[in-house]
Structure 1
Amino acid sequence: MTTMDTPRDARVGRELATGRFTDEMLAGMRALIGTELRTDACVNNEYATRLAILRFAEGIGDDNPLWSDEEYAAAGPYGEIVAPPSFIFACLGSVQFGWRGLGGFHAETDVTFHAPIRIGDKITARAFFDGFDGPTDSSFGGRRIQDYLRQEYWNQDGALVARFICSRMRFERTEMQKRRESRAIEIPHPWTEEELERIEDDILAEVPRGARPRSWDDVQIDDELDVLTKGPIGLTDEIAYIASGAAPIPRLSAHGVALRRYRKHPKWAFRDPSTHALEPVYSVHYNDYAAKLQGAQIAYDVGIQRSCWQLHSLTHWIGDAGMVKAIHGQYRSHVYLSDVVRLGGSVVGKEIDSDGDAVVHLRTWARNQRGQNVMPGTATVALPRRSEEPARG
């Protein structure tokens, strides 16, 4: 079939799709609850190679030598390079599934970690549709539902590495667009040179705890985590995250490969009015025009990108001998390009858990320069005890 013969509904338009909730759509999605989803088009990394781990760590701004320095890692608790726990998102960030024509934001993340990812591991990701709540009304974007994808990551030995519950908010784009002006803020943020210098000084002063074990015995309730700073968020930060293998759903592609996919799935893309190029819906994270069609002010960060920052904050604080066992995060407000996000938290509990691990429970936060907590969350980490060997794995 030639271009001129392409049916109108297979052409890509200049707007994002504008579907609506219907009884038929809701019934169809209910019938799919429990389905295992195809992941082939969304897998970015199968193997935790040295370069894949390095590319991902650099893509989230994490320079812990445990992820990249072979000599350093050989002397550490694993005896070799391991991947940061967030590397699972570079294997499979999420899956494009259902809700034809509706917009979406990543709403919440729940992850439990069960085994480290060692260099050379092969990770197999599986995804399941666990259902949805709603529709309900909201002032943020009108009618919405919240759905739940369960993603499991298994290594070559059949061991569960991590389980990720990806919760997304789905909404009607036309309603979200109507409310955009009510959320208007000054963007890009008007930083002064003095403010930027202080931000960069803070970033350069950050040092991971690394090989110095943080003992469970020494941690006290109300202890504060080190503060980690990200930003001002720029276009290259988002490109680096994509290049690391994280997030795109489905994988981003170019030229004829992309065009054939868009002809098959025209709602995956739109035509940019400035360049006349076809762009994926995912470009809301680096294309202001797409972001405005989604009801945002300008381009904004990726939901699970914030969870990667949260995990960076945790591994930075616990040191090489610690282990992150679980995280939870809620995504509130957009983090726009030009924003600065500072991440931290405090200790709210400690115990010996049912696995026999000495764990610390944390309340975590991520605040932007406007004082908004854009990712309230919790975490559980295991720490060595003074009477134990620090090695894990």
Structure 2
Amino acid sequence: MSTSEITEAEPEVYSFLEDDIQRARDLVGIYHAVTQREQFSRVTPDVVRNFARSYGDDNPLFVDEEYGRDTRWGGQIAPPMINIGLRKELLADRVPREQRRPAFRGIHVFVSGSTTDWYRPVYDGDTVYSFHGFEKVELKESEFAGRSLLVTRIHVQFNQRAEVVQAQRVLTIHTERHESKKRKKYDAIEPATYTPEDIAKIDEIYAAEKPRGAEPRYWDDVQVGESLDQMAKGPLTATDMMVFHSGGYGFAPYTPSASRLTYKNRQRIAPFYIPNEQGVPDVAQRIHWDSEYARSIGLPAAYDYGMMRDCWLTHVLTDWIGDGGWIETMSSQMRKFNYLGDTHIFTGEVVGKRIEGDRHLIDIELRGTSQRGEVTCPATATVSLPSRESDLAVLPTAPAEWERIAAQMLKRNGELRAQARSGSKA
């Protein structure tokens, strides 16, 4: 789970504004260019390598800029989840007030799950842009904290040629803030501890892991019921969270920063900065590495990002499919928190195989199970594999309407940039 809360220290209970709920519903089906830049905006070998390493992936297809030249891709490609750390801003016309995203001040926001479709690889030199919008808004009662608003946002990423590379639907749960309910719910959770023998058992799994690489995994040879190789992730540490951030995740729109830049950021989004135990304003985002802060709002410890576990799930898949395969789609759920100290073991199995047109598809169920025996992140995925009749896995086709919208947005971006240049010369 992930939080992007914008809240204040007091009072302890916040409620939804009805105007915010209605505005969210009114925005369904309306797309806007993303005008905020992520940590990185253009693909380079270093960006790709560091992003892969940020979630523990050493697949040479991603981390070695020479290796990919001998694969079907003809060069290094980015890991599937690169979209969470890479985006260049678009210039766009000002969004009318009635179409602006509601603020939901003081409301906790948790990523509950996502569905991602992949259409094309991202290469060295590519620039990635995005447009987004609300796809579904549903109000319901939540055991977690009273009323909840379930919002599905769609994020469509495209390159400098207006080719859609992927689309991600993210389900977020907006919850009212009720401290007492949360404290009661999580009181029984104890932090994980490990003996040297426990660590040795985890290390045995790490030692056996490796990407399939150049050896093709043919669709013809895969059997329903076949198990994927297990993968370990953890024990989770604050260092893991810092490395994940250094790989590019978690910067837009809040932009954690340092020194004078922090001062400027506090002027921009003051409610995002909440005093720590020393009275120093610090980002609410620190709930992902600061267990003292997490405990102050009723949780037993700091916890990871849902998108980190999505990276882990795709890591399981890319290791299994090999260089010639392609992940078409993956749908994940974040059912439980993954706290600092927790360890996850990922397992999966083939549940179906089929042919659609010229694509040879494998359906997979996979999951991450914590040391408590809880499945915190179940997922389903469909991958395309080469067959013995065709050595190349066939990629799906992106919706033409999305590419039309992407082309329009790139065109308008160019017009506005030209106007800005002309104005500056004048």
- The answer on 1:363 being equivalent to 2:341 is no
Task: State the 1:78 CA deviation.
Answer: 1.1
Where in structure 2 are the equivalents of 1:28-67 lying within 5 Å? 28-37=23-32, 39-41=34-36, 43-67=38-62
Which residue of 41, 64, 69 maps to 2:64? Answer: 69
Q: Which residue does 1:106 correspond to in 2?
A: 111
Q: Is the 8 A contact 2:211 2:319 kept in 1?
A: yes
Return the alpha-carbon distance in structure 2 between the equivalents of residues 386 and 181 of structure 1: 56
Where in structure 2 are the equivalents of 1:238-277 lying within 5 Å? 238-250=241-253, 251-274=255-278, 276-277=279-280
Task: State the 1:246 CA deviation.
Answer: 1.3
Q: Which residue does 1:144 correspond to in 2?
A: 148
- State the SS of the aligned residue for 2:232: strand
- State the SS of the aligned residue for 1:225: coil
Q: Which residue does 2:233 correspond to in 1?
A: 230
- State the SS of the aligned residue for 2:304: coil
Q: Which residue does 1:372 correspond to in 2?
A: 374
Which stretches in structure 1 are left out of the alignment for 5+ residues? 1-11
Q: Which residue does 2:81 correspond to in 1?
A: 86
- The answer on 1:119 being equivalent to 2:124 is yes
- State the SS of the aligned residue for 1:308: helix
Return the alpha-carbon distance in structure 1 between the equivalents of residues 30 and 356 of structure 2: 33
Which residue of 316, 322, 327 maps to 1:319? Answer: 322
- State the SS of the aligned residue for 2:244: helix
Q: Is the 8 A contact 1:231 1:340 kept in 2?
A: yes
- The answer on 1:218 being equivalent to 2:221 is yes
- The answer on 1:172 being equivalent to 2:176 is yes
Q: Do the aligned partners of residues 388 and 34 (structure 1) sit closer, same or farther apart at CA in structure 2, a change above 3 Å counting? A: closer
Output the TM-score relative to the length of structure 2. 0.83
CA offsets per residue over residues 359-388 of structure 1, 9 Å max, x none? 001111111011111011100000011122
CA offsets per residue over residues 303-358 of structure 1, 9 Å max, x none? 1111010000000111110000000001011000100011121111111124x210
CA offsets per residue over residues 211-239 of structure 1, 9 Å max, x none? 11111001111111111110000111100
- The answer on 1:22 being equivalent to 2:22 is no
Q: Is the 8 A contact 2:368 2:375 kept in 1?
A: yes
Q: Is the 8 A contact 1:48 1:122 kept in 2?
A: yes
Return the alpha-carbon distance in structure 2 between the equivalents of residues 44 and 178 of structure 1: 36
Return the alpha-carbon distance in structure 2 between the equivalents of residues 17 and 243 of structure 1: 32
RMSD: 2.3
- State the SS of the aligned residue for 1:120: coil
Task: State the 1:253 CA deviation.
Answer: 1.5
Q: Which residue does 1:188 correspond to in 2?
A: 191
Moved over 3 A (4+): 12-18, 31-42, 390-393
Output the TM-score relative to the length of structure 1. 0.90
Return the alpha-carbon distance in structure 2 between the equivalents of residues 87 and 170 of structure 1: 25
Return the alpha-carbon distance in structure 1 between the equivalents of residues 21 and 256 of structure 2: 29
- The answer on 1:305 being equivalent to 2:300 is no
Task: State the 1:278 CA deviation.
Answer: 1.9
- Aligned pairs, how many? 377
Identity of aligned residues (%): 29
- The answer on 1:386 being equivalent to 2:381 is no
Task: State the 1:92 CA deviation.
Answer: 5.3
Which residue of 282, 288, 291 maps to 1:279? Answer: 282
